[in-house]
Structure 1
């Protein structure tokens, strides 16, 4: 039974390995903040899924409570990354004194030279932007998703225990509702598992929509005081999220009818939809084809490009698997993320090349290769 109100019991931070990793990360955050005046402009970039949005709202609330009032939180739009020109133009207009990059990976490419930049992330880092600093839980055991990482960093500097539900939906979004990482168990007992599940699904619905606009989800998270405000549509923005979720579910239902093409180790499904159905479809087929690398190509998500998702339950490391193809493709947005779930976008010509290297004909349909 959910508690919902009453005295909040303190929960110990997770014990991560290597030893003292969390303590070092907390010192790194504090040192970064000490170099940024409290009255300066702070710009926060975040991924548009539940983990990214939750981490962004968590850090924004934490910085507010530390007496840093000038804060701008920008979620990524459809097909955008922290390195996209459209994002950098929005950042430039805000004239930041400090830049925080949350749940968007880490690459050696510059983001916004001359501005102190802190990346907080849990994906495999491919490098760090020149002059930037990275706090990463990728090599920790257990790995903390970005929302959980931000929560356990911030809680040492300011009281954010009332925001445990934000960390919880980030954990559910990235690690599933069966995860045991705190503060999910505490939040589950306090708010109820069904409320947290529903909230996570609604928050994710915005980025998966045909527009890919995460602003309704961000507005709902900023307006809500607890997850039930979203799950039970107590905030107006949640009703829009419900409509977006229904439209996405219908698009996914139609796409699930498409059968895969099988090669020695890859199962290929090709779809055409403006909705971000390819990650969800990849996870669905991973459960059915656990010995395969599942590749979903969505040829209708971004104009002139093919967006794809890979997922596997096998022993294949997907980031290493994709590395073999990098030299032959324009791999600017290719193979970032997790060892067992990743993706990217390719031009139509590069997509054809990738299929050929995997042994598929470009015009192949179920029953063919």
Structure 2
């Protein structure tokens, strides 16, 4: 019995659009869940039809799957007959539908509208429990062919996004067969690869696409070096204090801003760290070293259910008579952010009540 019977027919309908010998491009997020979901499709689709050519393409640094034109150009250059977008969200702008290419979205985040005609959405959002992208990818494929030996790949995504207590039925047996130690180490290595300044996604993806267990990934020396780099950058950034809007400032928002300069993707971790000590505020970590010069990567987190980060960020721009860029201030009420030019970052700070 398929885990999600409601998805069997739409998944099969999507697959039926791919011709014999057709090229399927899998566009996945660069975190452990996204890479694991991408690898599941990268390996599993050929068990359904061995004639298909399947290529897995992780998203780029600073790239928005729906609003970055260069991302669409990169995908179109691969000449896909079909596109699978996984762990990158669902958005009304879509991706390659306008080019006449069938697109399947496999995801678990809050959808931001329905994609254009030609897009099929299979989302875990709204299910109970909510499956992460790798979990959902596994179940979709397992309804078509035997994927049992690839459960360890899916488990990396499950453990990364949902932790040890995830209610995925195969997880206890997978942890016993491959050991929880190696699975958790593999998760850490995947996340180190995307957080390190090198942004080397091909290395962990190669293991996920070709190995029969997580041990090689967990023990890779270069990935271990990335992990050490991220740890060192994180230790330095944790010493930097947050700043607050001056008391009595016009439009002063319940925020704290930590500014760092690191090539590593540690800004979400720093924001997350501070919300435990500042539970009644939105903590924004602004990283001036992650993107090309002149761009600031911003990650916002809050522990308060009374605060809504996207609304707060958009309101700050409105206070300055401006609007945020289209790819900024999306995501979850308690986790949002994006990328801004220095000029837009200063507008945001003024709108939050800071003196710039």
Q: TM-score if structure 2 supplies the norm length?
A: 0.88
d(CA) in 1 for partners of 2:92, 2:216:
40
| Aligned residues of 1:318 and 1:342 also touching (Cα < 8 A) | yes
Provide the rounded CA distance (Å) in 2 between the counterparts of 1:38 and 1:321.
49
Alignment partners' CA distance in 2, 1:292 and 1:115: 44
Equivalent residue in structure 2 for 1:337, among 331, 335, 341: 331
The reply to whether residue 184 of structure 1 matches residue 171 of structure 2 is yes
1:325 Cα offset (Å): 4.8
Given the alignment of the two structures, is residue 41 of structure 1 paired with residue 41 of structure 2, yes or no?
Answer: no
Could you tell which deviates more after superposition, 82-91 or 55-64?
Answer: 82-91
Alpha carbons of structure 1 residues 61 and 223: separation in structure 2 relative to 1, 3 Å: closer
Match of 1:307 in 2: 297
* In structure 2, distance between residues paired with 1:147 and 1:122: 10
**Residues 167, 184 of structure 1: 8 Å contact kept:** no
Unaligned runs of 5+ in 2: 246-252
CA–CA separation in structure 2 for the residues paired with 1:212 and 1:158: 33
Contact 2:26/2:54 (8 A) holds in 1:
yes
CA distance in structure 2 between the aligned counterparts of 1:265 and 1:229, rounded to whole angstroms: 46
SS in structure 1 of the partner of residue 288 of structure 2: strand
How far off its partner does 1:326 sit? Answer: 6.5
Aligned equivalent of 1:109, options 80, 93, 99: 93
Aligned to 2:345: 351
| 1:217 paired to 2:204 | yes
What residue is the counterpart of 1:367 in the other structure? Answer: none
Deviates more, 1:353-362 or 1:52-61: 353-362
Alignment of 1:163-202 (within 5 A): 163-202=150-189
Partner of 1:272: 261
Residue correspondence of structure 1 range 1-369 to structure 2 within 5 A: 13=3, 22-68=4-50, 69-83=52-66, 84-112=68-96, 113=98, 114-131=100-117, 132-231=119-218, 233=219, 238-262=220-244, 265-303=254-292, 304-315=294-305, 316-325=307-316, 328-362=322-356
Question: Secondary structure of the equivalent of 1:36?
Answer: coil
What is the DSSP-based 3-state SS (H/G/I as helix, E as strand, rest coil) of the residue aligned with 1:27? helix
1:76–1:214 contact (8 Å) kept in structure 2: no
Query: Mind listing any 5+ residue stretches in structure 1 that lack a counterpart?
Result: 1-10, 14-21, 363-369
Change (3 A) 1:183 1:321: farther
Partners of 2:237 and 2:111 lie apart in 1 by 32
Shift in alpha-carbon separation, 1:323–1:152, aligned structure 2, 3 A: farther
Distance 1:153 1:243, change over 3 A: same
SS in 1 for 2:258: strand
2:151 and 2:355 mapped to 1: Cα distance?
49
Output one character per residue of 1:230-253: Cα deviation in whole Å (capped at 9) or x when no partner: 22x2xxxx2221111111111111
What CA distance in whole angstroms lies between the structure 1 residues aligned with 2:330 and 2:160?
A: 18
> For residues 331 and 60 of structure 2, what CA distance do their matches in structure 1 show?
18
User: Does the aligned pair in 1 maintain the 2:313–2:348 contact within 8 Å?
Assistant: no
Deviation at 1:310? 1.4
Preserved CA contact (<8 Å) 1:100 1:119: yes
Aligned length in residues: 339
